[in-house]
Amino acid sequence: MEKNKNLTLKFFDSKWFRVPTWAEDTEAIYRKWYLKRYGYNTEQNLKKFLKDKHYILDAGCGLGRDSKFFGELNPKATIIAVDQSPHAIKAAKKVVKGKVLKLDITKMKLKERFDFISCDQVIHHTPNPNKTLIRLFKHLNKGGVINFSVCRKKNKYRDFTDDVLMKYARKMSTDELWKFSHTITLFGKALHDLKIKKITFEGKKYDSIQRFVHNNLFRCWYNPDVDFTLSVSSNYDWFSGNPRFNLKEVKSEILKGLPKYKLLRTYQDDATISVSLKKL
């Protein structure tokens, strides 16, 4: 499923307008998740990695959560954060200590070359992730590292349901999609509130019936540890259209035609496939 850039901008710009404190409210959760997925595990390890990274690019910065994080760990680095959403740019400028630019990462031609590029939870939203990655690679110094992630395919049942619903969601207005996302988040909460725990299915364990249904049958994300609206926003951007990949497709399709590189790490969880590459 190829993404339409205009639809991506429409849905995400609306999301950042609706939940302007999203990055702040989820910061602790997402920092921990970032550290785990890219193998740093602790802030100290990421700080050590960033120590010699003089130029850092956050490609698709959203509200600036990751740019802020990198700046805290390496205050001496020159950080450039880019996004195409006006609402995201406005918010990111308040927290990022560096340049914040309104740019389309599929077309950008920056004069700077970077020692580290982070494109987390972004590249699959572009029409052609392979072409986007090649463009980002052109902005990477020799020996530089890029981290990127894509949404991961689940199974034939969940993937089929996602595809059918996304087909209809792309025709919705932002208000209609938000209403739909609110409803399915209520469904996820209702499953969670049943307190049916420790589900085992085909040898895999799930914390609750809600997580089992969400992972295998129907997207109904709900996290009781954050504000309800933040769970709504997560379902909202999912159904706005997320192409998903398995690891074989990442290697054969997204990494196709890249200049010489070393694959440093791949990591899979229930939601994403995260990849780290070094340019040779």
Confidence label for 241 from pLDDT (cuts 50, 70 and 90): confident
pLDDT (average), residues 91-118: 96
Confidence label for 4 from pLDDT (cuts 50, 70 and 90): low
Where in the chain are the domains? 5-153+246-279, 156-239
Say which residue, 11 or 233, is predicted with more confidence: 233
Question: What confidence score (pLDDT) does residue 3 get?
Answer: 55
- φ/ψ region of 2 (left if φ > 0, alpha if ψ in -120 to 50, else beta) reads beta
Question: What confidence score (pLDDT) does residue 1 get?
Answer: 47
- φ/ψ region of 257 (left if φ > 0, alpha if ψ in -120 to 50, else beta) reads left
Question: What confidence score (pLDDT) does residue 242 get?
Answer: 81
CA 143, chain centre distance (Å): 24
Confidence label for 129 from pLDDT (cuts 50, 70 and 90): very high
| β-strand partners of 79 | 56
Cβ contact 148:133 at 8 Å: yes
Architecture of domain 5-153+246-279: 3-Layer(aba) Sandwich (3.40)
Which tens digits make up the pLDDT trace of 142-164?
Answer: 999 999 999 999 999 999 999 99
d(CA 50, CA 58): 13
Q: What backbone phi and psi angles, to 5 degrees, belong to 56?
A: -125, 135
Which tens digits make up the pLDDT trace of 175-228?
Answer: 999 999 999 999 999 999 999 999 999 999 999 999 999 999 999 999 999 999
Q: Is pLDDT of 170 > 90?
A: no
Question: What confidence score (pLDDT) does residue 11 get?
Answer: 86
Question: What confidence score (pLDDT) does residue 9 get?
Answer: 77
Q: Which two three-digit tokens encode residue 259?
A: 């200049």
pLDDT (average), residues 94-109: 95
